[in-house]
Amino acid sequence: MNILILGSGGREHTFAWKLAQSKKLSKLFVAPGNAGTDNIATNVPIGVNDFQEIKKLVLKENIQLVVVGPEDPLVNGIHDFFLADAEIKNIAVIGPEKLAATLEGSKEFAKEFMMRHQIPTAQYKSFTSETVEEGFKFLEQLNPPYVLKADGLAAGKGVVILNDLDDAKNELKSMLVDKKFGSASATVVIEEFLDGIELSVFVLTDGDSYKVLPTAKDYKRIGEGDTGLNTGGMGAISPVPFASKAFMDKIEQRIVKPTVEGLKMDNMPYKGFIFIGLIKVGDDPKVIEYNVRMGDPETEVVLPRIQNDLVDLLQAVADQKLAEIELQLDERTATTVMTVSGGYPGSYEKGKEITGIESIKDSLVFHAGTTLKEGKVVTNGGRVMAITSFGSDFKTALSKSYENVEKISFEGMNYRKDLGFDL
Ligand code: AMP
Ligand code: GLY
């Protein structure tokens, strides 16, 4: 089978690495890909939202399955685009249709879905520029910290948490009236602050049955001790040590099942990955958000722990036969450490030569923001490369990741040295 992966990050390199292990794979394409995917697949310089060019590629290369990495094309309706076109409607697309992708595309939509299906989440109210004054009153009734969320996609920056009431009111005004995040903050969700430790659960569904994939915890802040600005993710650990069997049973019964059943009930076709961001409040899981894709860098620790042939799993999703498959997992812990460009998540330079990759033997190297320039691997983004290792526990795995990170070098390279500090 010929397969196309859409995207260019560490997540997509990990998908490519895993798919490349399947005997069922003939040709693998990645659009646009990075220097890592270039080693194991054919990179094609097409953007993930260029649906017409993607269609041409699919027809030209006889691609039978498309794995959509990031949320953007899903929220823009790539799955619906395929279904609506007679020439490509039978090509399997892994990723939900547009309606279900709104679970990530609109926080308000996701909140309403959770309310409708009694899925535990923070209490909330949403506001628009017409109801700013009511928003102020609502904030006055809450206890700090105040959680304000731009409704739409805001490149991971749309959530603001503030301790001071006046700051929260100013932020609400700036989002709604001054359009701080453009149309993404035309509606703002204000919600109850949940105090606890975060984890993510990944689910693969064919719209009928589902598999709960390994849990993971990522480290979003740039600074040690979870300080400083938010990033796309500085590293991840799987499984999450505090996700006991009893806690996972609660997650499955209270959250995963009602989510998959809710999608069915609401006629929201979903074939793909669901990424559920959770907070453990006391002993109870509550949903912070849904993402309609895999996480990055969570994929870099979740996929390596799945022992099944990934082509089999994805084919079963496409054929709605996931129930027939038994998930096989590596019980060991996987950790990944993300190396980033100096200055990230603020401004940073690109094009720095990366050396030392070939000296890493006992960890997996997943490229994120890299490209080839005159035969050399150079930096091409904020998050540059993730180093994944296995161990009997997260400390053992992490020490191997760190040992190997030290072998990599590029000007300005930065990474967090304290992953797992909170576990
Ligand atoms: P999101 O973009 O929805 O993932 O939110 C970004 C981060 O904000 C999350 O990873 C949490 O750390 C935090 N967060 C979001 N909602 C809440 C909440 N209701 N209570 C506490 N923290 C939250
Ligand atoms: N690591 C968080 C995300 O992929 O959204």
Percent over 90 (pLDDT), the chain: 98
Beta bridge pairs of residue 7: 32
Pocket around ligand 1 at a 6 A CB cut-off: 122, 147, 159, 191-194, 198, 220, 277, 288-289
User: What's residue 393's pLDDT?
Assistant: 97
Using only C-alpha atoms, what is the Rg of the chain? 21
Condensed to tens digits (0 to 9), the pLDDT of residues 134-159 reads: 999 999 999 999 999 999 988 778 89
Cβ–ligand 2 distance for 104 under 6 Å, the answer no
Cβ–ligand 2 distance for 43 under 6 Å, the answer no
User: What's residue 414's pLDDT?
Assistant: 98
What are the residues whose beta carbons fall under 8 Å from the beta carbon of 81, sequence distance 6 or more?
A: 51, 55
Beta carbons of 326 and 305 less than 8 angstroms apart: no
Give the DSSP H or E segment for 75: helix 71-75
What is the whole-number distance in angstroms between the Cα of residue 150 and the centre of ligand 1?
A: 12
Cβ–ligand 2 distance for 71 under 6 Å, the answer no
What are the residues whose beta carbons fall under 8 Å from the beta carbon of 246, sequence distance 6 or more?
A: none
Among all bound ligands, the one having the nearest atom to the CA of 156 is 1
Give the DSSP H or E segment for 324: none
pLDDT bin (cut points 50, 70, 90) of residue 317 is: very high
How far lies 121's CA from each of 145, 213, 297, 377, in Å?
17, 21, 24, 43
**Closest by alpha carbon to 337, among 279, 276, 413?**
413
Spatial separation of the C-alpha atoms in residues 319 and 323, rounded to whole Å: 11
What is the whole-number distance in angstroms between the Cα of residue 289 and the centre of ligand 1?
A: 8
Task: Answer whether residue 265 shows pLDDT above 90.
Answer: yes
User: What's residue 155's pLDDT?
Assistant: 77
Backbone angles phi, psi at 294, to 5 degrees: -80, 160
Q: Please compute the mean of the pLDDT values over residues 229-254 and round it to a whole number.
A: 96
Sign (positive/negative) of CA torsion 280, 11, 373, 356?
positive
Q: Please compute the mean of the pLDDT values over residues 158-185 and round it to a whole number.
A: 93
Token code pair at residue 205: 């569904």
- pTM for the full predicted model: 0.96
Cβ–ligand 2 distance for 295 under 6 Å, the answer yes
User: What's residue 157's pLDDT?
Assistant: 80
User: What's residue 66's pLDDT?
Assistant: 98
Condensed to tens digits (0 to 9), the pLDDT of residues 393-422 reads: 999 999 999 999 999 999 999 999 999 999
Task: Answer whether residue 100 shows pLDDT above 90.
Answer: yes
In order of their start, the domains of the chain are 2-95 (3.40.50.20), 123-191 (3.30.1490.20), 197-405 (3.30.470.20)
Spatial separation of the C-alpha atoms in residues 420 and 226, rounded to whole Å: 11
Give the DSSP H or E segment for 378: strand 376-379
User: What's residue 245's pLDDT?
Assistant: 96
Distance of CA 61 to the CA centre of its chain: 28
Q: Which residues of 374-396 are buried (b: 16+ CB within 10 A; e: fewer)?
A: eeebbbbbbbbbbbbbbbeebee
